[in-house]
């Protein structure tokens, strides 16, 4: 349980009213829940689930492998250097997300099942994002 003296010290330190912060975060969470419920009523829960999974795949499409884990590479289409930067591309759909690997390690498109190509980037084209500028 939160001690009221600690809450008042936090309010004094940050200069924020905890009641107003509670209303703000409650309204943000409530709005997200209401909008999600309306979307599910209109399009259905299965459609919403599919859209969330697709969004997750798109967010991680350029990730080659998790940190500390060697990537599974497909012979003939894999980058020359293990862990090289790049993206898997479907010949029909383009960049659709992370591929589904079969038992042989071949990357297949999650949308149509075709074998995907790995499009790597040469390391000479990279510049630090924080200091790059133009």
* pLDDT, tens digit, 9 for 90 and up, residues 24-76: 999 999 999 999 999 889 999 898 888 888 888 887 766 554 444 444 444 44
- Residues forming beta bridges with residue 118, ordered by sequence position: 88
Pick from 91, 8, 24, 92: nearest CA to 118: 91
Helix, strand, coil % over all residues of the chain, rounded to 5: 40, 10, 50
How is residue 61 annotated by DSSP? T
Establish if 8 belongs to a structural domain.
no
Total domains in the chain come to 1
Establish if 90 belongs to a structural domain.
yes
Rounded CA separation 29/32 (Å): 5
Establish if 20 belongs to a structural domain.
no
- Residues forming beta bridges with residue 101, ordered by sequence position: 107
Full domain range(s) for residue 112: 63-122
pTM above 0.85, yes or no: no
């Amino acid at each position: 349980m939160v001690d009221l003296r600690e809450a008042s010290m936090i309010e004094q330190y940050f200069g924020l009213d905890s009641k107003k912060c509670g209303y703000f975060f409650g309204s943000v969470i409530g709005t997200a829940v209401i909008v999600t419920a309306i979307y599910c009523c209109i399009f259905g829960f299965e459609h919403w689930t599919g859209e969330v999974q697709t969004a997750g795949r798109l967010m991680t499409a350029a990730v080659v492998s998790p940190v500390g884990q060697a990537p599974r590479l497909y012979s003939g289409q894999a980058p020359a250097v293990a862990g090289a930067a790049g993206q898997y591309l479907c010949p029909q759909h383009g960049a659709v997300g992370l591929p589904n690997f079969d038992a042989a390690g071949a990357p297949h498109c999650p949308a149509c099942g075709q074998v995907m190509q790995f499009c790597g980037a040469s390391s000479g084209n990279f510049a630090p994002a924080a200091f790059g500028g133009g």
